[in-house]
């Protein structure tokens, strides 16, 4: 066990985690040059297209140290985006140490700090690594000073490397052997193994990724899950090499996979403890803190026949993505679907794309919203995350909305633009300080509902991509919130309702009406598109009618002949308007979600 090292690579977005993992894999000779490709561990199409890591991936590497001893490295590559920080926290629970990567040109950024705190909460040994030292703009000495002063990490541990060229990688591997501790645990105690990930294989059932804390497990053992008490017979155990590699057994301190023919997805919960049925452990390991969903949206299938397929797909996806929650929902406009909780808008986009690609579904999403606390006149409190369930305004005493503390790291020259953006979004209690010359750390308290709409996109465009953003949930505060409905031809469309601040309601309503006007095709009668708060119309646009030229045959003669034909047409249109249905295309629901290009 003393020759095992379990560690993870953590950093801000685009600081080179996946590239460094590639160099480690190549240096340890786990993959032949013919099989190698960049970002080897990013195996989802969506990860390779976007150039980001979404799922943390584990790989087991054999390493021959300079002293001649053979070591086993269990490396976990983690995501950098704040929406996937739950993946990082789960990966860190399976490790004893972490490499904290910092870009030699960019320096310390918002997620660098957030991930460092996560690692400290898990009592991990940390090796600071300055990456990208081959860049012309690299300033490793300045960044080393930042790491020492701002993060309080030891200067003598700092390693310099370039993951792209491979410079400094051999020294870094030696530092892992020297500084990171081996796992602790006793292979002779009853089995205790923590599930930190799982995926569904249509041939072999649920494949569990786990870290063995105590004891050992091998094929043929009867394992049981502490939370459900269900037991299964182990078919295969093994390690994550480039492919899954079967092994005789998994002993204390090792990270690997277990296949036990688990058909029911609900049995393998992430954070659960596995033990042996005949010789169970005294108590389960402490699991993970449940993820706090902050953005809620409903997902509906375009075709109602796909509802069962969507239900199966959601179950399989939550097995692989434990931070996603869902429950059944229905809408008069869109039929049956699911109300889902996400960790952010990028998480929502990724889940939508995974459902469409991996399961071949066509989906509609409703406007994202957050969880509001509504206090009624009889002093009871109800939680509302769906505008459809917003109580009658007459019965409401006050409404509280969640606030976040946003930490934004920006170059000095963008300070004015970012301050304006935060003030537009009802930001309060803002302050700033200079962690280093030329860079500002700006903190501000914002309502979460203003951030989920398009805040991150606006921040990126205002700062030309240099701004980094991290947030934590603070508390709930009273706000003047109203429910805004959208009416098409006098009919309320429940899937387009939104909860908005009264001051922003008219602007948001006008914008939604204009977008719907572009998407709804013209009919034979005029269509009014209105935004309303209760009985008050606050914005309106009209889709003009298509007109048949009834005067084409009527040339010359008295004016009354023309008027008679026009009156007849007018009466026909009036009748059509009362009985005609307006078809709202699927693209209209998505158009309302998109923010203005401004």
Q: Note down pLDDT in tens along the chain; length 598 residues.
A: 788 888 888 888 778 888 888 888 887 776 766 666 666 666 566 766 667 777 777 888 888 877 778 888 888 877 777 667 677 777 787 788 888 888 888 888 777 877 887 888 888 888 889 888 888 888 888 888 888 877 778 878 888 888 888 888 888 888 888 888 888 888 888 888 888 878 777 788 888 888 888 888 888 888 888 877 788 888 888 888 777 888 888 888 888 888 888 877 677 777 778 888 888 787 777 766 667 777 788 888 887 788 899 998 888 888 777 778 888 888 776 788 888 888 777 788 888 888 888 888 888 887 777 888 888 888 888 888 778 788 888 888 888 888 888 888 888 888 889 999 988 888 888 888 887 677 788 899 988 888 876 777 788 788 876 777 777 788 888 888 888 888 888 888 877 888 888 888 898 888 888 888 888 888 777 888 999 988 889 999 988 877 777 777 777 777 887 888 888 877 776 666 555 566 676 667 666 666 554 4
Task: Report how far residue 200's alpha carbon sits from residue 319's, in angstroms, rounded to the nearest whole number.
Answer: 7
Q: What is the pTM of this model?
A: 0.69
Residue 177 half-sphere exposure toward CB, CA atoms < 13 A: 18
Q: Which fold has domain 483-593?
A: Alpha-Beta Plaits (3.30.70)
15 in a labelled binding site: yes
228 annotated to bind ligand: no
CATH 3.40.50.1260 fits 372-479, yes or no: no
239 in a known ligand binding site: no
* Ranges of each domain in the chain: 4-179, 192-276, 295-365, 372-479, 483-593
- Confirm or deny that 16 is annotated as ligand binding: yes
Asked if 443 and 381 touch (Cβ cutoff 8 Å), the reply is no
Q: Alpha carbon of 438 to those of 14, 411, 420: distances in Å?
A: 21, 6, 19
The yes or no reply on domain 192-276 and CATH 2.40.30.10 is yes
Report the candidate in 324, 310, 298, 320 with the shortest Cα–Cα distance to residue 355. Answer: 310
**410: which strand partners?**
440
For tokens 């990126």, the residue is 460
Determine whether the annotation assigns residue 112 to a binding site.
no
Token representation of residue 349 = 């986009």
Taking a C-beta distance cutoff of 8 angstroms, is the pair 77, 25 a contact? no
Residue 553 annotated in ligand binding: no
Q: How far apart are CA 228 and CA 14, in angstroms?
A: 40
| 18 labelled ligand-binding | yes
Q: Which residues contact 103 (CB under 8 A, 6 or more apart)?
A: 11, 12, 14, 15, 16, 109, 131, 132, 143
523 is in an annotated binding site: no
CATH of domain 4-179: 3.40.50.300
- CB 95, CB 84: distance < 8 Å: no
Local structure of 222: helix, strand or coil: strand
Q: Cα 495 vs. chain centroid, distance in angstroms? A: 22
Domain 295-365 is classified in which CATH homologous superfamily? Answer: Elongation Factor G (Translational Gtpase), domain 3 (3.30.70.870)
* CATH topology agreement for domains 4-179 and 192-276: no
**Whole-number Å distance between alpha carbons of 157 and 150:** 15
């Amino acid at each position: 066990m003393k020759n095992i090292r379990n560690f993870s690579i953590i950093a801000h977005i685009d600081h080179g985690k996946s590239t460094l993992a590639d160099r480690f894999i190549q240096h340890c000779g786990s993959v032949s040059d013919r099989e190698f490709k960049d970002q080897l561990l990013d195996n989802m199409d969506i990860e390779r297209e976007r150039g980001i890591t979404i799922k943390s991936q584990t790989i087991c590497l054999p390493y021959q140290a300079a002293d001649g001893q053979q070591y086993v490295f269990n490396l976990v590559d983690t995501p950098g985006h704040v929406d996937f920080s739950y993946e990082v926290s789960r990966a860190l629970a399976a490790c004893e140490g972490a490499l904290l990567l910092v870009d030699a040109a960019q320096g310390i950024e918002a997620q660098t700090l957030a991930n460092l705190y996560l690692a400290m909460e898990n009592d991990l040994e940390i090796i600071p690594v300055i990456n990208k030292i081959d860049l012309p703009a690299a300033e490793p000495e300045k960044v080393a000073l930042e790491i020492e002063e701002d993060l309080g990490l030891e200067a003598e541990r700092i390693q310099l490397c370039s993951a792209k060229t491979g410079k400094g990688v051999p020294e870094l591997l030696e530092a892992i052997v020297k500084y990171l501790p081996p796992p602790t645990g006793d292979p002779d105690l009853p089995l205790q193994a923590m599930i930190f990930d799982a995926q569904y294989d249509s041939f072999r059932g649920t494949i569990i990724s786990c870290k063995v804390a105590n004891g050992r497990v091998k094929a043929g053992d009867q394992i049981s899950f502490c939370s459900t008490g269900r037991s299964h017979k182990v078919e295969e155990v093994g390690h994550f090499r480039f492919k899954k590699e079967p092994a005789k057994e998994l002993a204390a301190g090792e990270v690997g996979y277990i296949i036990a023919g688990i058909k029911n997805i609900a049995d393998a919960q992430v954070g659960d403890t596995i033990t042996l049925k005949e010789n169970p452990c005294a108590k389960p390991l402490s699991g993970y803190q449940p993820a706090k969903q902050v953005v809620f949206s409903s997902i509906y299938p375009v075709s109602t026949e796909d509802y069962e397929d969507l239900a199966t797909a959601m179950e399989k996806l939550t097995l692989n993505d434990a931070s996603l929650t869902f429950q059944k929902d229905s809408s008069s406009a869109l039929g049956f679907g699911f109300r889902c909780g996400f960790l952010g808008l990028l998480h929502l986009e990724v889940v939508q794309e995974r459902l469409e690609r991996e399961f071949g579904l066509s989906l509609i999403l409703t406007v994202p919203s957050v969880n509001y606390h509504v206090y009624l006149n009889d002093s009871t409190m109800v939680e509302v995350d769906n505008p459809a369930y917003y109580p009658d305004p007459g019965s409401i005493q006050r409404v509280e909305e969640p606030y976040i503390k946003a930490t934004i790291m920006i170059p000095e020259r963008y300070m004015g633009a970012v301050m304006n953006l935060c003030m537009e979004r009802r930001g309060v209690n803002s302050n700033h300080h200079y962690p280093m010359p030329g860079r500002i750390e700006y903190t501000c308290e914002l309502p979460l509902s203003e951030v989920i709409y398009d805040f991150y996109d606006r921040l990126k465009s205002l700062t030309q991509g240099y701004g980094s953003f991290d947030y934590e949930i603070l508390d709930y505060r009273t706000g003047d919130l109203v429910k805004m409905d959208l009416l098409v031809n006098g009919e309320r469309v429940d899937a387009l309702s939104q909860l908005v601040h009264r001051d922003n309601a008219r602007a948001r309503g006008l914008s939604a009406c204009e977008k719907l006007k572009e998407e709804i095709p013209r009919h034979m009668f005029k269509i009014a598109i209105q935004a309303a708060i209760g009985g008050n119309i606050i914005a309106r646009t009209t889709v003009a009618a298509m007109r048949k030229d009834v005067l084409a045959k009527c040339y010359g003669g008295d004016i009354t002949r023309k008027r008679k034909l026009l009156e007849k047409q007018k009466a026909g249109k009036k009748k059509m308007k009362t009985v005609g249905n307006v078809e709202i295309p699927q693209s209209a629901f998505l158009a309302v979600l998109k923010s203005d290009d401004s």
